[in-house]
Structure 1
Amino acid sequence: MKLYRYLTGPDDASFCHKVSQALADGWELYGSPNYAFNGDSQSMVCGQAVIKTVDGKDYEPGIKLSEQ
């Protein structure tokens, strides 16, 4: 099965670590990163889609993507 996740976080090192951890866990970058202003928190927010192919499993709506 092919899985998709969209990672988000503040524009700081924690977001870079989140993406780096996903890459270390076998996820691949999908598309370009996004950058937006959050008016409520008055801060910039980053986003990056990642994908991963997992053999031998079928997709189920309750699957925990971060554990794959």
Structure 2
Amino acid sequence: MPPPDGLPRYRVLTGPDDAGFCRRVSEALDLGYHLYEGPSAAFDRENLILAQALIWPDDAASTTGDT
């Protein structure tokens, strides 16, 4: 089954390290996305900026247990 609403199978969410960023990642997880690796962080002289990659589980990985 593909991701809902025409969303891509692979997504990278970025933003400042705040509640809004955490909410966006949580919403993607609630849709069925899985975290891909850990987050990346950078400092832009004012804010800590995070990036989190998410992937949609494919049917082959779901049936083998590899996600």
Q: TM > 0.5 between the two?
A: yes
Where does structure 1 differ by over 2 angstroms across 4 or more consecutive aligned residues? none
Which ranges in structure 2 are unaligned for 5 or more consecutive residues? Answer: 3-7, 60-67
CA RMSD, Structure 1 to Structure 2 (Å): 2.1
- Return the alpha-carbon distance in structure 2 between the equivalents of residues 53 and 5 of structure 1: 12
Compare the two structures and name the one with the higher strand fraction: 1
Number of aligned positions between the proteins: 53
For normalisation by structure 2, the TM-score amounts to 0.69
Offset at residue 38 of structure 1 (A): 1.4
Which ranges in structure 1 are unaligned for 5 or more consecutive residues? Answer: 56-68
For normalisation by structure 1, the TM-score amounts to 0.68
Offset at residue 25 of structure 1 (A): 0.7
Compare the two structures and name the one with the higher helix fraction: 2
